[in-house]
Amino acid sequence: MKKVTVVGTGYVGLVSGTCFAEAGNQVTCCDINQMKINDLLQGVMPIYEPGLKELVDKNVKRGTLHFTYQITQAIQEAEVIYIAVGTPMTSSGKADLTYIKQVAKTIGENLNGYKVIVTKSTVPVGTGKLIKSVIQEHSFEQIPFDIVANPEFLREGDAIKDSMNMERAVIGATSEKAFQIIAELHQPFTSNIVKASLETAELIKYAANAFLATKISFINDIANICERVGADVTKVSEGIGLDSRIGNKFLQAGVGFGGSCFPKDTSALLHIAKECGYEFNLIKSVIETNEGQRVQLVKKLEKALGTLKGKTISILGLAFKPNTDDIRSSPAIDIIPYLAVHGANLQAFDPIAIKETKKQLGYQCAYSENIYESIQNSDACVILTDWQDVKDLDLIKVKELMKQPLIVDGRNVFDLETMKDLGFTYLSVGRPEVRQKTAASKSL
Ligand code: UGA
């Protein structure tokens, strides 16, 4: 059992802290945001994540998980301090380390004995060393401490599962003692431990996310070729994915990746490379392809409708992927303002991300948690998130509700034959177009 303090109660901090508590450690999660802490003390989660509330409640009840905004006390009491604060993207695309530096300063000022200080957030290579120097600068005596880079690989929506059953833990430590402490902490979660230097561990995280993003942009580029030569990208994915060297995961073509990680981390890696004198052209293309996917989807819609002006368009899905209310870098957040500015009337559906979207986009569209209500009287449906509600749609009912049966699908949810049989015009990504045959909608 270890005494662990986690600074930052975002996705990474809250989930990791809760899982460390579940494994029997004494965990204190802290945040400077008092409202967030007050909510957590009352059992209100700041994020939507399946299974999180139950696990938090259980561990609060049995006394292994605590919440506080008294950061100094939490630091003084800990053996291990996890830094899990945000590293947002600056306007130039670099990672902003302001919060990390603030926490390092506070740790330095409150260092009262040997501690292991661990970065969990995705941080540029060299951040571990920077934290070390900030702590040294602000600590009053020569108290020993170690730095560890222990990046997080959890996915939103699967965060608890990913954290309780890690495929691997990467630990880059400044001493063997610190490595052993963090390795022990991970024993309940995985036996695959990758021991690395601080810099290597920091880079592994960027390399992992950039590689996954590259797979997505690669298959999206292939999808764009498929559209031009009449091939089907889902079959291409199947055909290459069965080669175990390639693997079938992250080969789903679509409107492009979003979320708080891939867009930010690919951009930050580009900067890391530039700063050490290397032009990472591959990642540049990955980012460009990703941005292009959104533009192409809108072009398809515009072409099918003739004009956006005065058209009623249903936006199916606001979150960047299913099972989360996270809309950061979500395709919908780019696409909605464009459609609104060009005069379309928008009716958006999402089961849980409406509140977040309203905060960011206001009333550029009407919102509904009822998918059929948002489809009513529309000239086109645009699928941006492959929610189960979208997959389960009663397509006959959809056709009856719409003014004309046009679906532009950024997630390749439906089977082409089914759409053809039902008489839809169905434009998906990297697959042959399905055109409605009836005379009434020849223009589609
Ligand atoms: C990603 C990584 O998968 C995690 O391992 C990592 O820990 C996390 O970033 C992070 O750095 O914190 P996440 O952003 O939660 O996790 O979501 P993913 O499930 O990876 O999806 C990212 C985006 O890629 C989504 O917009 C999704 O729709 C898109 N995607 C994914 C595709 O377009 N095609 C695919 O085949 C797979």
Do 173 and 305 lie in a common domain? no
pLDDT at 94: 80
Do 45 and 171 lie in a common domain? yes
C-alpha radius of gyration, the chain, whole number? 24
Atom of ligand 1 nearest to the CA of 156: 15
How many A from CA of 320 to the centre of ligand 1?
A: 9
Task: Tell whether 78 is covered by a domain.
Answer: yes
Indicate whether residue 268 lines ligand 1 (CB < 6 A).
Answer: no
Do 192 and 294 lie in a common domain? no
Task: Tell whether 205 is covered by a domain.
Answer: no
Report in angstroms the alpha-carbon separations of 179 from 118, 135, 310, 401: 10, 19, 62, 60
Q: Which of 134, 166, 196 is the last residue of a domain?
A: 196
Residue nearest to atom 1 of ligand 1 (CA): 155
Indicate whether residue 156 lines ligand 1 (CB < 6 A).
Answer: yes
pLDDT at 441: 47
Do 187 and 297 lie in a common domain? no
| C-alpha span between 236 and 242 (Å, rounded) | 10
Mark the ranges of the chain whose per-residue pLDDT is less than 70.
438-444
Determine whether 19 is an active site residue: no
**Which of 205, 216, 328, 429 to mutate to test ligand 1, by most ligand atoms within 8 A of the CB atom?**
216
Q: Which of 196, 231, 256 is the last residue of a domain?
A: 196
> Which is nearest to 402 in space by CA: 422, 374, 437?
374
pLDDT at 436: 83
Task: Tell whether 21 is covered by a domain.
Answer: yes
Backbone phi and psi for residue 124, each to the nearest 5 degrees, phi listed first? -55, 155
Residue nearest to atom 7 of ligand 1 (CA): 153
Do 169 and 68 lie in a common domain? yes
pLDDT at 443: 46
Q: 402: which 2 tokens? A: 């719409």
Is 155 labelled as part of a ligand binding site? yes
The string of pLDDT tens digits covering residues 168-206 is 999 999 999 999 999 999 999 999 999 999 999 999 999
Q: 355: which 2 tokens? A: 């509140």
**Angle, helix 11-22 to helix 52-61, in steps of 10 degrees:** 50
Is 264 labelled as part of a ligand binding site? yes
Task: Tell whether 258 is covered by a domain.
Answer: no
* Distance between start and end Cα atoms, the chain: 64
Do 168 and 30 lie in a common domain? yes
Indicate whether residue 258 lines ligand 1 (CB < 6 A).
Answer: yes
Number of domains in the chain: 2
How many A from CA of 385 to the centre of ligand 1?
A: 13
Do 307 and 422 lie in a common domain? yes
> Which is nearest to 383 in space by CA: 333, 352, 348, 351?
348
- Give residues with Cβ within 8 angstroms of 431, minimum separation 6: 226, 227, 232, 233, 234, 412, 416
CATH number at residue 320: 3.40.50.720
Is 252 labelled as part of a ligand binding site? yes
**Which residue is associated with the tokens 């498929």?**
226
Do 186 and 295 lie in a common domain? no
Residue nearest to atom 29 of ligand 1 (CA): 257
Task: Tell whether 202 is covered by a domain.
Answer: no
Q: Could you list the residue range(s) of the whole structural domain that residue 96 is in? A: 3-196
Q: What angle do CA 105, 108, 109 make, to 5 degrees?
A: 90
The string of pLDDT tens digits covering residues 407-444 is 999 999 999 999 999 999 999 999 999 998 764 444 45
pLDDT at 140: 82
